[in-house]
Amino acid sequence: MRFIVTALLFAIGLLFLVLGANFLVFPADAGLGFGLTAKGAQGLAVLRADFPALFFVGGATMLWGAWKRNGELLLVPVAIFGIAFVGRVVSLAIDGPYEAFAFPMMVEALAVALSLIGSRVLPHKVV
């Protein structure tokens, strides 16, 4: 069980790092995949700064926690993707659903669930 959780954490963490790099290198194209359009240099700067920050920190702590077998580190992606999930729930309640709204929520819920499971089954070490 621990090996499977560790492998899944590593794979999803790597996916988030790739998403972050995509926003850093190709912000306009990456933004379109998330329903965002950059408005000039300011919009591109936001896409290059905020999204890589979320994906790099979330993905890197998933990778680091899985690699070092450290459950403490996995609480960071729980917080990051948990807040993102709550934001989507609020948006769903206020704005209503949109086409394919469930997929990003499932990815965030999976990231939170795997990180929580990993945090429980991997040892906690002071970082």
With a CB cutoff of 8 Å and minimum separation 6, the contacts of 9 are: 62, 63, 65, 66, 74, 114, 115, 118
pLDDT score recorded for residue 124: 76
Domain membership flag for residue 111: yes
For the four alpha carbons of 88, 30, 50 and 46, in that order, the dihedral sign comes to: negative
- pLDDT of residue 127 exceeding 80: no
With a CB cutoff of 8 Å and minimum separation 6, the contacts of 40 are: none
Domain membership flag for residue 40: yes
Domain count along the chain: 1
Domain membership flag for residue 10: yes
Distance CA 127, CA 116 (A): 17
pLDDT score recorded for residue 122: 87
pLDDT score recorded for residue 56: 98
- Average pLDDT score, the chain: 95
pLDDT-based confidence at 87, cuts 50/70/90? very high
This prediction has a pTM of: 0.90
What letters, b where the CB count within 10 A reaches 16 and e where it falls short, cover 40-49?
A: eeeeeebbbe
Domain membership flag for residue 66: yes
Question: Which residue segment(s) compose the domain that 111 sits in?
Answer: 2-121
Domain membership flag for residue 126: no
